[in-house]
Structure 1
Amino acid sequence: MMENVSGLSLEFLVHPGETIKEVLENKNMSQEELAIRTEYSPKHISEVVRGKKDISAVFANKLEYALGIPANFWMNLQNNYDKEVFEINALNNIGEEELNILNDLKDVVKFCEDKNIIECNSNREITVLNMRKFLNLNNLCSIQNLPIQQVAFRGSKAKPVNIYVLYAWQKLCEYYTDKININNNCNIEKLKTKFSDIKETMFLSANDMVAKLKKIFAECGIAFTVVKHFAGAPVQGFIQKRNNKVILCMTIRQSFSDIFWFTLFHEISHLITDDFVDQYIDYRFTESEEENTADNFAKNMLINQRDYENFIKTNDFSYNAVKKFAKSQKVLPGIVIGRIQKDNNNYSLLNSYREKYKWSHT
């Protein structure tokens, strides 16, 4: 018996021919009589009953007339059998390399199981099959040959990038944004009119804020969501044009309000300048002219540069002063604190006053 690692074997599967045999016995009909009624040879009937031949669409229709059982019943039997054969053969072909990749994806797998994206199963080989289906692959090893690899290694010397985790995170972005109904084409000019509305959401709770942002971006023809961050995928955001749909996803990193909002407007800058083709993965460590432009846009959208310079000249960095200035800019105090910390390379300054969002995760 040819068993695979999970203990399953093709010998345990019931071929549709077995059902034909049972029906013939119940009807007290011989295979020879069935051959006459279907106009197939006795040899053909025998081979189907013994599982040597499959039930074709033509033969299924013949069986409907001969046995009074609908053709779709026989076709469903055959389709289910074929699927089970494929699954068992797939299990037999899972090697150590794919199981090692599953180790890399353990946090993603747990997240997918917790969110019922894939079925929870203690059998690692079946989990490989579940992840293959979710990631739209016949072999997890294929990830290293996909275009995502070229993007991932662009900055891998600065931060550890795991191409398997990065690809899985991208698929999660697609999974969640596919659930968002977008009725309009992407309208960047309309997006530009929504900046104030976008900023106002920062004063809401994390969940209400994300819900409101989804609505605002949807009005502009953009599917937006926030997806859990995983070690191995050091990304700020993900923008993609796919099937006439623009998606914008962000990771949840550290939960600080200033990081979230700087990142959001940084990604909005990429949308406005259209400095990507079909897919753009924004790394925390990437440096380029486009990234510098996006950084400056984010800083100026959150805090007016001239007002900020005047505030810095006061040399009063007490919390009350920061809070007053933040109010004048219509931002949270943590936004100002984060800016001062970065500009002065002093990350202890008023750090306890930086707001942190409490995420429920998508």
Structure 2
Amino acid sequence: MATNNNRLTSNRAIHPGEILREELKERGIKQKDFAKAIGWQATHLNEFIKGKRNLNEDLAMRLESQLGIPFKTWMSLHSGYIYECKALEKNADYKMISNKLEPSKPVHPGEVLREELENRGISQKKFSEQIGIPYKNLNDILNCRKPITENTALLLEAALGIPAHILIGLQTDYNMQVIKQDPSFLERLANIRKMAAML
């Protein structure tokens, strides 16, 4: 399966269709021929590749059968895409500060994770048992009282298919935003910059 390091640092959600387009291009397969091979309408495949149609389990199975890329991989890519869309949507409220865009309100990854569990109809208690962490710890994360650690991010990735690096990235962004809203710390930074300018 084709990989691209730029995907890891993209500031937008990557639809699985984009990855399929790269895969077909790399293998020299025309979209029309591929649509016929998987028993799909060419127009529907084109919509999927352009990100206008979402992945479903039926298509994921067809892609696995034809390309050898596991069903679970496609579903994980889809979950990651949906999650990134929600995260970007939550961070869409921006204001201009010193020619840099900063979210007006820090968004804890627990908020997005809580919505994900609700959308999937998974109870917090059942999920905490599934991933093997105390219910209170999970509840604290979902209610923005505790950060998502690297270990927890990997557990969440295994259970939900949401890439761990996305969760850690959201947590880091949240931490940075909180720090930048602390007046005393901002004053400290300003003083350091003044002293640095005099050196």
CA radius of gyration, larger in? 1
TM range (shorter): 0.3 to 0.5
Q: Which structure is richer in relative contact order (CA contacts within 8 A, separation 6 or more)? A: 2
